[in-house]
Chains A and B, each alone.
Chain A
Amino acid sequence: MIEFFKTQFGFSILLAFIVMNVILLAVAYCIYFERKVSAWIQDRIGPNRAGPWGLLQPLADGLKFILKEDIIPEHVDKPLFVLAPAIIMIVALVGFAVIPWGGQVDLGGAKLIDVQVANPDIGLLYILGVTSLGVYGVVLGGWASNNKYSFYGAMRSTAQMLSYEIPLGLGILVVVLTSGQLRLEQIVRAQIPFTDPQSGAHLWGMWNIFHHPFVFLIVLTCLFAETNRTPFDLAEAEQELVGGYHTEYSAMKFGMFFLAEYAHMITGSAFMAVLFLGGWSLDPIGVGWMQWFHHDTSLLAAVLRMLVMGIKIVIFIFVFMWVRWTLPRFRFDQLMRLAWKGLVPLSLGLTAWTTGLVYFGKPTTWPLTLLGDIVIIAAALLIAARARTPVSGRQESLPAVPVT
């Protein structure tokens, strides 16, 4: 039995089991953390009654969700109504399969084992595909509810996700071009300097965020839109749409939608950490220190790397919450304007620049990559300075309508 877990297949199953349970627990505690962060930002204390520091609050919340009456309204499309929360939760969870948690580990088996549930060649495309599937849960939920507000929410969410997928894809393309890899684990390795102890060959690398800070910002923005988080949470704008796509849901079905949002956030955070913050790397600008931590195959090093990865995810989640309690929601036309007139041209320009660098064989030559970002942003600023259309999108010079 023990031998089985020393093979990649057995280890993957074990890791999937652990990751799954840790994530589900973390999702529950994300809600607690969100309430705490919102309280801190608003000069309050937050939940502190259930258990020490309110740490049992997620349990109480979960219990409440389970014990509430699960209403299926009469007019809904029942199979889809039941399926939608399941889909959104599943989609949010399967994304973890390809996240590299901590490089490779030597468990005494025949081969080194990846600390990763699956390591397909197209890991990045898999993540992109799976996160886009998230819109199915939202659309099915809104459509099956047979309620115009739910449907509006679903429609908004679809348009939003489709629009933001484009700059997201382009931004990720820049990362792919920079590291020349689609394998997530290799993308991380490309960001860590490595000196081969045998041949002495040195491979340089540093966090992609220092290569392309603006791509980082663009992808982060798109990620907010993809996860339906403020300032892009139009799908559940309660002032206009009651509750949005989950208006008709109650009890644990609503709970699934609620938890899936946080699961999506964790996936997105892990994804961002891998793409831009070098995964488990603690070497931001590639000075080449801590070779043992970064490359050793002992179990201890792997666990430490997983820990670093976890800390980075937590930091990202905090940023998600911090933004939510700071920024107001976009209006729908502003949202579309930002995607199509702002992010798409910007990310296209950055992709073109990086493609050029690849053509000349210098995709990771540092000042050149950063220069691209600066040039593109400067160009955008120039165009913005010349353009005189109001950002709010108000129609100009409407003829005065006489009031009767």
Chain B
Amino acid sequence: MRDEDIVVIEEPPLNPAERLYLPQIIEGMTTTFRHIFKKKITVQYPEEQKPVPLWYRGVHRLNRDEHGRVACVACFMCETVCPAHCIHIVGAEAPWPDREKYPVQFDIDELRCIYCGMCEEACPVDAIELTPVYEPVGRTRDEMVFDKEKLLEMYDRTIALKPRKDPKITGYPGTGGRPATHDPREEGAA
């Protein structure tokens, strides 16, 4: 460190009243006293809950298509992209004519998951999505490994709250109607 880099800052001189501390103390006490009567910001958690945005990254769900079947095509993109390796898929030949594969088993370890949302971004058919549900609980670790049925049930539970993405629009009202893949930096460049 060079000498010229050192900046010596002198304390501002106090006036006599400030040296008595009292005016400052009274000012501070008035401020805190006013806060006593202010509106409290506490959210009484189990009874009250703060609304979370629709794009909140909570528990996953597996979407159903219009026929009520699982929308997943077992492409393994999410399992590959997952940084926490918490998705395990067992694929098999699909019994339906509109796709080649479907998952016979689809497990997500919700304790291992870091809720980064990369599975949702990787999914080519928007089958896996994160929901605003943020309080999954279980008594054992095994219980927290969500299988296909549980993930589909999560879809049934949250579909009213968060509708399935329309693949042609891919976006939610909360994002200002812009596609979710929109990059604000591009907007500035254009």
Contact A43:B11 (CB < 8 A) given known A381-B20, A385-B16: no
State A216–B93 Cα separation when bound (angstroms).
Answer: 88
In the assembled complex, B33 has its CB within 8 A of some CB on chain A? yes
Name the B residues within 8 Å of A392 (CB-CB).
11
Binary interface profile of A, 43-70, with partner B (CB < 8 Å = 1, else 0)? Answer: 1110000000000000000000000000
Partner of A40, one of B17, B29, B35: B35
Name the A residues within 8 Å of B14 (CB-CB).
391
Contact A44:B16 (CB < 8 A) given known A325-B32, A327-B28, A392-B11: no
Name the B residues within 8 Å of A327 (CB-CB).
25, 28
Minimum CB–CB distance for A343 against chain B, Å: 11
Name the B residues within 8 Å of A385 (CB-CB).
15-16
Name the A residues within 8 Å of B67 (CB-CB).
none
Q: How large is the interface on A (under 10, 10 to 19, 20 to 34, 35 or more residues)?
A: 20 to 34
Interface centre among A323, A326, A388 (most CB of B within 10 A): A326
Interface residues of B in 1-30 (CB under 8 A from A): 1, 3, 6, 11, 13-22, 25, 28-29
Partner of B42, one of A44, A384, A390, A402: A44
State A37–B35 Cα separation when bound (angstroms).
Answer: 10
Q: Are B16 and A381 in contact (CB under 8 A)?
A: yes
Q: Are A394 and B11 in contact (CB under 8 A)?
A: yes
Q: Are B29 and A323 in contact (CB under 8 A)?
A: yes
Interface residues of B in 42-94 (CB under 8 A from A): 42, 44
Minimum CB–CB distance for B10 against chain A, Å: 9
Name the B residues within 8 Å of A322 (CB-CB).
29, 32-33
Contact A43:B20 (CB < 8 A) given known A327-B25, A327-B28, A394-B11: no
Partner of A391, one of B17, B19, B36: B19
Name the B residues within 8 Å of A382 (CB-CB).
16
Q: Are A42 and B35 in contact (CB under 8 A)?
A: yes
State A65–B40 Cα separation when bound (angstroms).
Answer: 30
Name the A residues within 8 Å of B44 (CB-CB).
45
Q: Are A403 and B41 in contact (CB under 8 A)?
A: no
In the assembled complex, B185 has its CB within 8 A of some CB on chain A? no
Interface residues of A in 311-365 (CB under 8 A from B): 322-323, 325-327, 338
The total of interchain contacts (Cβ-Cβ below 8 angstroms) comes to 58
Please tell me the number of chain B residues within 8 Å of chain A, measured between CB atoms. 28
In the assembled complex, A18 has its CB within 8 A of some CB on chain B? no
Minimum CB–CB distance for B5 against chain A, Å: 10
In the assembled complex, A242 has its CB within 8 A of some CB on chain B? no
In the assembled complex, A287 has its CB within 8 A of some CB on chain B? no
Name the A residues within 8 Å of B141 (CB-CB).
none
In the assembled complex, B168 has its CB within 8 A of some CB on chain A? no
Name the A residues within 8 Å of B19 (CB-CB).
381, 384, 391
Q: Are A41 and B20 in contact (CB under 8 A)?
A: no
Partner of A390, one of B11, B15, B31, B35: B11
Q: Are B36 and A40 in contact (CB under 8 A)?
A: yes
State A40–B36 Cα separation when bound (angstroms).
Answer: 5
Binary interface profile of A, 257-279, with partner B (CB < 8 Å = 1, else 0)? Answer: 00000000000000000000000
Contact A326:B42 (CB < 8 A) given known A40-B36, A380-B20, A392-B11: no
Binary interface profile of A, 387-404, with partner B (CB < 8 Å = 1, else 0)? Answer: 010111010000010110
State A41–B30 Cα separation when bound (angstroms).
Answer: 11
Q: Are A384 and B16 in contact (CB under 8 A)?
A: yes
Minimum CB–CB distance for A51 against chain B, Å: 16
In the assembled complex, B38 has its CB within 8 A of some CB on chain A? yes
Minimum CB–CB distance for B56 against chain A, Å: 24
Q: Are B25 and A41 in contact (CB under 8 A)?
A: no
Name the A residues within 8 Å of B17 (CB-CB).
381
Minimum CB–CB distance for B24 against chain A, Å: 9
The chain B residues found within 8 Å of chain A, CB to CB, are 1, 3, 6, 11, 13-22, 25, 28-29, 31-33, 35-36, 38-42, 44
Please name 14 further chain A to chain B contacts, defined as beta carbons within 8 Å, in addition to the given A322-B32, A381-B16, A400-B3, sorted by A numbering. A42-B35, A43-B39, A44-B40, A45-B40, A323-B29, A325-B32, A327-B25, A377-B20, A382-B16, A385-B16, A391-B14, A392-B11, A400-B6, A403-B1
Ordered nearest first, which 6 A-B pairs have the shortest CB separation?
A: A385-B16, A384-B19, A40-B36, A381-B16, A326-B32, A45-B42
Can you offer 11 A-B residue contacts whose CB atoms are under 8 A? A41-B36, A43-B38, A43-B40, A43-B42, A45-B42, A217-B22, A325-B32, A377-B20, A381-B17, A384-B16, A384-B19
